[in-house]
Chain A
Amino acid sequence: MKKISKDKLPQLWDRLAQQATLYLPVEEDGVVNFAPWKEGAAVNLDVINTVVPPKQMVLPQSENYLHFRVDGGKLDLEPVDVDGPYVIFGARPCDVAAIAIIDKLFLDEPCDTLYKERREKGTIISLGCNEPEETCFCTAFELEPAFSPDADVSAWDMGEYLLWKAQGEKGEALTKKMEDLLEDAGADAEKAVESLRNNVASKEAAATKEYGWNAQGVKDALEDKFDSEIWDKLYRRCLGCGVCTYICPTCHCFDVQDFSRGQEGLRFRCWDSCMFGDFTLMAHGENPRPTQKERVRQRFMHKLLYYPSNFDVYACVGCGRCVRKCPVSIDITQVIKEVGGVK
C-alpha cells in the first residue's frame, strides 16, 4: 500500500495527464462531472456522485466509428480510430462496478470490439466513499461503498492524504510510473482501510435497512410480474424524459446514426433510451412498446430480471442517481419494494 499527500495531487495529475487523457471530477458552475484535467481545474473529490457517471469514458455519449464517402453510386468506407489511452481518477466504487457490469454485455460474443478497444485503453483509479449519500443503496446490491474490486488502483481519502493500492497488472504498471510521487503507507494502512470500509458499509446498510429488501429476492419476485398492475400505476406519471437512463451508470442502449456534409460523413453510435417512444418504433408504424407503460416496465425488468437472467448480475448498482434526478419521483427502491422484492 502507498500513500500520497493531497498537496502533491496536482503533480500526480500532471504526470498522469502526460501519458494519457486524465479524467477526474471537476466542478463547473456548481455541477461536478468527469472532465479532462488541466491546471487550475476545480477538482472535487468530495462529491459522491457526479451528475453523469464515468461510463461516458468507456461508452461515450456519442462515438464516431465509420467514415464514409459517397460519390454517385460509389461508396468508400473507412473505420475511425479509437481515441488514445485515458485514466479515470476518482471513480466511485459503484460506478466502477457498473462498468464491470456492462463489460459482460459488450465483451460477450460477438464481442463489441469498438467497446473492447476503448475499454482496454482505460485505467481506472477508484476513490472509496467516506460517507454514503442519502440516496445511496449499493450495499443492497452487495457492493461496498468504500472498495472497488474491479478498479486498477483503489484509493481512499484519509483526510490529509490518499491511500493508494494497485490491483492487477495495469494498476501495478501505473503505480510504478508514479513511484517517486508515492510514499510507503506504513504498517497501519491496511487496518485503516479495513475500518473505513466497515464503517461506511455499515452506515449505509443501516440507512437502507428501512427499504426492507435486499438483492436476493428481487429477480425471483419479478418473474411473474410482467402483467402486474404496479406498472399501470407507475407509468402514468412518467414524462418519458429519459434522464433516468442517461445518468444511469449501467444503462448502455445505443442508437446508430449517420451525419454527413456533402459527399462525406460519419457514422456514430450514441446513447439512446428505452423511455423514448421511437426506441422500438418500426418503419411500418408498429410498436411493440406503444405506451409509456411498456417502456417503464422494460426499464425495471431489464435491470432487475432480464440482465441478471443473461449475465448473472443486476444492472443496478444503487448509486441513486435516477432516484435523485427523476422529475416525478419514480424511485427504483420503491418499485422493488412494491413488486415484492422484500426479504
Chain B
Amino acid sequence: MAVINPLLPQVAKIVDIKQETPNIKTYRVVSPDGGKPFEHIPGQCAMISVPPVGEALFSITSSPTQQEYMEFSIVKTGSVTDFLHEIEPEFEIGIRGPYGNGFPIDMFKGKDILFIGGGIGLAPLRSLINYCLDTRDDFGKIDIVYGARTPDDMIQKEEIFKVWPKAPNTEVHLTVDNEWEGWEGRVGFVPQCVEEICFAPDNRIAVTCGPPIMIKFVLQGLEKLGFTPEQIITTLELRMKCGVGKCGRCNIGDKYVCKDGPVFTYAELLNLPPEY
C-alpha cells in the first residue's frame, strides 16, 4: 500500500452531539461506513477539519475500548470550534490522526492512579479513566479529582456523578470553585482539594490536565505530598497545524508537543525550557 500523505484527512460523520456546558459540546464521530475512523491509545489526539473554515487538533476523549465510535469534547473558542458548535448531527467532517505519544499505560499497571482534572482538562483524562475502568484488574485504586468553576461547567456529568463512583475500588472527588446554590459537595480549587485529601505517593501515579494555572499549583501540591516528578504526568496543548512534527510551531525546545508529546512526565518537563 502506498504511504499516504499524513496531512490528508478522511471523511467522517458526526452522529451525536451532546451539550455538556453552555460552551462545551461532546461530538460522537464515526466513519461513513460505521465504526471508528482509526484506532488510538488514551491521550492521543486527532485533527478535525471543517472546510473551508480549517483544521484544529483535539484530544480523543473516548477510550480505545469503545469500539463503535470516537468522541471529542470541544469548547467554543475559535473559528473551527465556533463552526462546530453550529452544526447538527449527520454533518460530515474531515479527520486525521492519531497524533502524539499517548499515556504510558504500561507504567501505570499495578499502581494506584490519581486523576486530577479541571474544566475541559477532563477530556484527555476521560479516555484513560474509561480505559482503566474497562481493564480494571490491571490497576490499583483509582481516585478522580475533578473541579470546575460551577456545577454547570462540569462535563460528562453522567459519568462523574453516576458511572465512575460505582466502579470497583474507585473514588470520585468533585469540587467547584465557589459556593453554588444546590451544590452540597466540596468547594475550593482543585489543587486545594488534592492537598486536603492528602493522597499518599506510595505506588501511585498522578495524571493531571486542566488550565495552566491549575496545573502549576497541582504540581506544587503533589510535590509537597511527596510525589516525585517521575510520578506526575500531564498532557499539554499548543497551537498545531500539521500534527506530525513538521510545521514547526508546537516545539518546546527540541521536543514537538504533537509528536513527542502531548503527554510528558513532570520530570521531562523540568528538562525543557519553560515555554508552554
A245-261 CB contacts (< 8 Å) to partner B: 252-260
Indicate if A75 sits at the interface (CB-CB under 8 A).
yes
Contact A110 B6 (CB under 8 A): yes
Contact B249 A284 (CB under 8 A): no
Closest to B54 in A: A258
Indicate if A7 sits at the interface (CB-CB under 8 A).
no
Q: Which of A43-51, A111-119, A173-181 contacts B (4 or more CB under 8 A)?
A: A111-119
CA distance A175 to B45 in the complex (A): 48
CA distance A337 to B245 in the complex (A): 30
With known contacts A68-B51, A288-B276, A306-B254, A75–B6 Cβ distance under 8 A: no
Q: Mark A71-85, 1 if CB is under 8 A from B, else 0.
A: 001111101000000
CA distance A277 to B257 in the complex (A): 19
Report chain A residues within 8 Å CB of B238. Answer: 280, 282, 288
Contact B52 A73 (CB under 8 A): no
Q: Which of A29-37, A148-156, A266-274 contacts B (4 or more CB under 8 A)?
A: A266-274
Contact B52 A112 (CB under 8 A): no
Indicate if B78 sits at the interface (CB-CB under 8 A).
yes
Contact A75 B249 (CB under 8 A): no
With known contacts A279-B249, A288-B275, A114–B5 Cβ distance under 8 A: yes
CA distance A76 to B51 in the complex (A): 10
Indicate if A331 sits at the interface (CB-CB under 8 A).
no
Known: A105-B245, A112-B7, A252-B248. 20 other contacts (CB 8 A): A65-B5, A65-B7, A66-B8, A68-B51, A68-B94, A70-B52, A73-B87, A73-B88, A77-B11, A111-B3, A111-B6, A265-B51, A269-B7, A272-B247, A280-B239, A280-B249, A286-B212, A294-B275, A302-B248, A309-B253
Contact A283 B78 (CB under 8 A): yes
With known contacts A256-B241, A259-B52, A65–B87 Cβ distance under 8 A: no
Contact B254 A75 (CB under 8 A): no
Contact A284 B92 (CB under 8 A): no
Contact A65 B8 (CB under 8 A): yes
Indicate if A92 sits at the interface (CB-CB under 8 A).
no
Contact A79 B5 (CB under 8 A): yes
Contact A283 B77 (CB under 8 A): yes
Closest to B12 in A: A75
Determine chain B's interface SS by DSSP, over half rule.
loop
Contact B5 A274 (CB under 8 A): no
Contact A77 B241 (CB under 8 A): no
Indicate if B91 sits at the interface (CB-CB under 8 A).
yes
Contact residues on A (Cβ < 8 Å of other chain), bracket: 35 or more
Contact B248 A274 (CB under 8 A): yes
Determine chain A's interface SS by DSSP, over half rule.
mixed
With known contacts A283-B56, A283-B78, A113–B249 Cβ distance under 8 A: no
Q: How many residues of B contact A (CB 8 A)?
A: 49
CA distance A281 to B248 in the complex (A): 13
With known contacts A75-B11, A113-B5, A265–B52 Cβ distance under 8 A: yes
Q: Mark B221-257, 1 if CB is under 8 A from A, else 0.
A: 0000000000000000111011011111111111000
Contact B246 A106 (CB under 8 A): yes
Indicate if A18 sits at the interface (CB-CB under 8 A).
no
Indicate if B201 sits at the interface (CB-CB under 8 A).
no
Contact B51 A75 (CB under 8 A): yes
Could you write out 20 A-B pairs with CB less than 8 Å apart? A73-B88, A73-B90, A73-B91, A75-B94, A106-B246, A110-B244, A114-B5, A226-B273, A256-B55, A258-B54, A260-B52, A272-B247, A279-B239, A280-B249, A282-B238, A283-B78, A283-B239, A284-B78, A288-B238, A306-B254
Q: Mark A100-127, 1 if CB is under 8 A from B, else 0.
A: 0000011010111111000000000000
Report chain A residues within 8 Å CB of B54. Answer: 256-258
CA distance A306 to B260 in the complex (A): 14
Contact B254 A309 (CB under 8 A): yes
CA distance A307 to B77 in the complex (A): 33
